[in-house]
Structure 1
Amino acid sequence: MSSNEGGPGLAERLALVRQQIGEAASAADRSSDELTLIAITKFHDESLLRELAALGVRDFGESRHQEARDKAANLADLDLTWHFVGQIQSKKARQIAAYSAVIHSLDRASVADLLGTTLSSSPETVLKAAASASDARPPVDVFIQVNLTPDPARGGATPGDLEALAEHVSGLAGLRLRGVMAVAPLGEPARPAFERLRLLSAAVQRIDAGASAISAGMSNDFADAIAEGATHLRIGSAITGFRPVQR
């Protein structure tokens, strides 16, 4: 369904989020043109994604491989950009890279190696490149996910491991390091956490000047993320409404 019962519809929610993004960007002396809005659509039917596409949304984020793969295949006629934002299992890394233009949750060198090898030197890629240079797939954009909490179960590289991982990723031909990603810790204000992420982003940029993007900000804290330099906003329920029951 595209609307919550008794509440605003999908178009109204999207318009409100876009307005709030513009206001937060203006307050931070930034342009909303600097920001990429990614609609997080986990568990939502493909019909809702088609509605969002008709409203001008082109970037979609998913966190479950099978669901993301199927949506990417079934909505191929819409020419959408797919962002993978969930934790990556090593055995699924190559499959995720097959449909994702951007991966936001790279957190260890072993997965980076799988992605880099898959994209730069797999037999399929080599054959395509030999047939026609235009058929060769460009590198996949990746963000290194940083864990801003002391809990390892939260996912992400530790701040202490970040620079070494950034150096490793920057050396892989099949990947293009875009920057850093994080989720604000639960139970504490988001703004200080995003400030820490901004400082970590600066350290990564000293390693790779092109890795200047910051993926941060969700439905409840994207204004704080914008204030601290976020470039990619991952917004779900504020746009889509209540998440359906998991299938």
Structure 2
Amino acid sequence: MDGDGAADARAAELAAALDAVRARIARAAAEAGRADVPELIVVTKTHPAADVARLARLGVRDVGENRDQEARPKAAEVAEALGADAPRWHFIGQLQTNKAKLVVRYASAVHSVDRVELADALSRAVVLRREREDGGADGVPNLECLVQVDVDPRSDDERPEGIGPRGGASPEDASAIAERIAAVEGLALRGLMCVAPRGLDAEESFRRLARLGRDLRAAHPEADRLSMGMSGDLEAAVRAGATHVRIGSDVLGARGAVG
């Protein structure tokens, strides 16, 4: 980890950025007439484990990653440094089924469940981990899962050239995926996630997810999370009802190169 002088300077930089982002969230919630304030997930991709440790010491309890090959060693390093004080890891990127057994070792939540096959793979991975660690549900809690929804109503042909989908299941498929998550062992259905489509109004896209969320909660009251909004569209997400916002660059600065 960094030397004391560098660490102190970086910690002060992160503290100021965190204060600014938290103020934005609180202001957006107040302007929207909300009594609650969405929870902040700091997305730490391409930033080192030392920064995650600094964030934890500044009170950040939830961090997000979107690539297992980066998240896994980083989570291990942070766990070794902080022990029980380490933050919760949220996996927010597209996930291959063969990586499920790796992600469940460190993630408390997966926001990007976009198909029934992935829900099944995550369930098997949690069950296998419980068997190997002989801790059952007490030692290995249920993995919190959100269904990622592609809220772009345009067909592939209608989307601007060079702009593909932001990931996620179609709204028509989301309910079946949610039902699968709720039914299988080792998973807990907690809500929906989306990324605002490029080239469309972000707030309307987020409101589309919020409407789907209301329908989902009618059958599953525990699925009360709406994970939406990033640095550039935070306020729109808060106005639309986000319960969790995922902020990276406005806290940590510009991303470094991805290996």
| Matches for 1:1-247 after TM superposition, within 5 Å | 9-32=13-36, 34-76=37-79, 77=82, 78-120=85-127, 122=128, 124-126=129-131, 128-129=133-134, 135-149=138-152, 150-151=155-156, 153-247=165-259
Deviation readout 1:182-206 (Å, 9 max, x if unpaired)? 0001112211001100001112112
Partner Cα separation in structure 2 for residue 13 and residue 186 of structure 1 = 26
- How has the CA–CA distance of structure 1 residues 133 and 61 changed in structure 2, closer, same or farther, with 3 Å as cutoff? closer
Deviation readout 1:188-237 (Å, 9 max, x if unpaired)? 22110011000011121122111011000100111111111111110011
- How has the CA–CA distance of structure 1 residues 25 and 153 changed in structure 2, closer, same or farther, with 3 Å as cutoff? closer
- How has the CA–CA distance of structure 1 residues 89 and 127 changed in structure 2, closer, same or farther, with 3 Å as cutoff? closer
- How has the CA–CA distance of structure 1 residues 221 and 169 changed in structure 2, closer, same or farther, with 3 Å as cutoff? same
Does the residue aligned with 2:104 lie in a helix, a strand or coil?
A: helix
CA-CA distance at 1:20 after TM superposition:
0.7
Deviation readout 1:99-125 (Å, 9 max, x if unpaired)? 1001010000001001112223x2x41
Which consecutive unaligned segments of at least 5 residues does structure 2 have?
Answer: 7-11, 157-163
Partner Cα separation in structure 2 for residue 153 and residue 195 of structure 1 = 18
Which consecutive unaligned segments of at least 5 residues does structure 1 have?
Answer: 3-7
Deviation readout 1:146-173 (Å, 9 max, x if unpaired)? 0112457431110011111111111012
CA-CA distance at 1:81 after TM superposition:
0.3
Does the residue aligned with 1:75 lie in a helix, a strand or coil?
A: helix
Any conservation in 1 of the 2:166–2:196 contact (CA below 8 Å)? Answer: no
Correspondence for 2:9 = none
Correspondence for 2:159 = none
Partner Cα separation in structure 1 for residue 206 and residue 167 of structure 2 = 16
**Aligned Cα RMSD in Å?**
2.1
Q: Given the two structures, how large is their TM-score scaled by the length of structure 1?
A: 0.90
Partner Cα separation in structure 1 for residue 30 and residue 228 of structure 2 = 18
Q: Given the two structures, how large is their TM-score scaled by the length of structure 2?
A: 0.86
Any conservation in 1 of the 2:56–2:86 contact (CA below 8 Å)? Answer: no
Q: Which stretch shows the higher mean deviation, 22-31 or 236-245? A: 22-31
Aligned pairs, number? 238
Partner Cα separation in structure 2 for residue 135 and residue 18 of structure 1 = 33
The 4+ residue runs of structure 1 with deviation greater than 6 A are none
User: Structure 2: which amino acid aligns with 1:20?
Assistant: R
CA-CA distance at 1:50 after TM superposition:
2.0
